[in-house]
Structure 1
Amino acid sequence: MTAAVSRLRSSVDRNEKRKQQRSRLPAVSIAFGTLSVASFWVPGLGFLLGVAAVVCGAIATSRSAVIDDEAASLRALLGVVAGAAGITVSAIALFPMLADL
């Protein structure tokens, strides 16, 4: 009976360690990308948030914890795409503002 309990505890401990080792960078990348698209009209802010999203997503895809987890890998890729969209939209919105200067 005690052997079964100890095996159950060890499997629970392994699952908890896996949950603790998950990277938060994919979620941060998505958040920065979303904020960059939403704040494209603020000069420079959307661009900087987009760059931060791309950097966080790129770093996240290089981590082994994210490479092993397909969902986290896709979240990191979504963050990179959202960051690139934020950079693009911010650059397009910046051109008319520069014409007025």
Structure 2
Amino acid sequence: MITTELFNFEGQEFTAVTVKLPKTTLLTVSNEKGYIMCGALDVGLLNSRLADRKIIAGRAVGVKTIEELLHAPLESVTLEAEKLGITVGMIGKEALLKMV
């Protein structure tokens, strides 16, 4: 099952997507500039093989809900995210606000 939810915080609009799969759930929160995602995100791949796309993204591990993703510290971030001041350890919600 796939669910999509639009929501606002601090005057900014984001889209949350939850994809329920056998034995796991994929979670993303995004806007037009970038996104944060659960542990399924391969930041290494984004930084190496897809570097030319300049993807702004962060990864949090051990999260099972969108709410947890928004409040979890990021375990890794892309090089493009770092350029915006998004750092490892920053919580998801703070990272998203740097993507506006």
Taking structure 1 as the reference length, the TM-score comes to 0.28
Greater relative CO (CA pairs within 8 A, separation 6+):
1
Question: Where is the strand percentage greater, Structure 1 or Structure 2?
Answer: 2
Question: Where is the helix percentage greater, Structure 1 or Structure 2?
Answer: 1
Larger CA Rg, structure 1 vs 2: 1
